[in-house]
Amino acid sequence: MALHFFRKDEKKELLSLSDEQLIARYAQTHDIEIIGILYERYTHLLFSVCYKYLANDADAEDTVMLVFEKLFVLLKKSEIQNFKSWIYTITKNECLMHLRHKKSGDRYIEGNLKKLDGEIMESAEVNHLLSVTEEEQRIRYLETAITGLSSEQKQCIELFYLNEKSYREVEQITGYTYNEVKSHIQNGKRNLKQLMERMDRYE
């Protein structure tokens, strides 16, 4: 009985915290109750965003759930200053990914993402074969993970892997030095690998 009241009081305390305070608490405790509170705060807003892009109740609901499922991992990794803005961007990107994957002719970027994922898996010494469903899920996680990189790493990774630019071309486009481009790509791959390993463990 005492435990019941303790949990009730604890939830009351959590409800009084700001988004950023909840995220900081989650980083320390990994308390799933916190994800539930964030869900209650933002599910209606995110559903509206998803419906705006997807124009379908079922797809919008599925995408909202997918976003919140990813929070279990992303909130352990990302440094977030403004949660509302951050989760709006994550949700918008998820909607755009969903729309892109529905287009049967758009396989170019997906193919390049598979190549990048292959490099990450190889460096992580992942030797098992993935089913089609598992591969698709990894690609979607990888797309989300890329959005969590620093702006420098994200820009260089996308140009080099997704747009197939050379180091020199990335250097010219971004204004970074050759060594900076190389460093951003290497560090970006390392960060992506770490995040993907966390997602694998979560699954």
Q: What is the pLDDT of residues 181-194, one digit of tens each?
A: 999 999 999 999 88
Distance CA 200, CA 145 (A): 13
Return the structure tokens found at 137: 């899920």
Torsion angle defined by CA atoms of residues 94, 50, 26 and 144, in that order, rounded to the nearest 10 degrees: 0
User: By mean pLDDT, which of 35-44, 52-61, 112-121, 133-142 is the weakest?
Assistant: 133-142
Distance CA 65, CA 137 (A): 14
Q: What is the pLDDT of residues 111-147, one digit of tens each?
A: 788 888 888 876 444 434 455 566 777 788 888 888 8
Query: What is the percent of the chain where pLDDT is above 70?
Result: 82
Query: Using 50, 70 and 90 to split pLDDT, how confident is the model at 108?
Result: low
Question: Can you state the angle between helices 178-202 and 57-77, rounded to 10 degrees?
Answer: 110
Q: Centre a 10 Å sphere on the Cβ of residue 120 and count the other Cβ atoms it contains.
A: 21
Domains of the chain: 1-106 (1.10.1740.10), 108-203 (1.10.10.10)
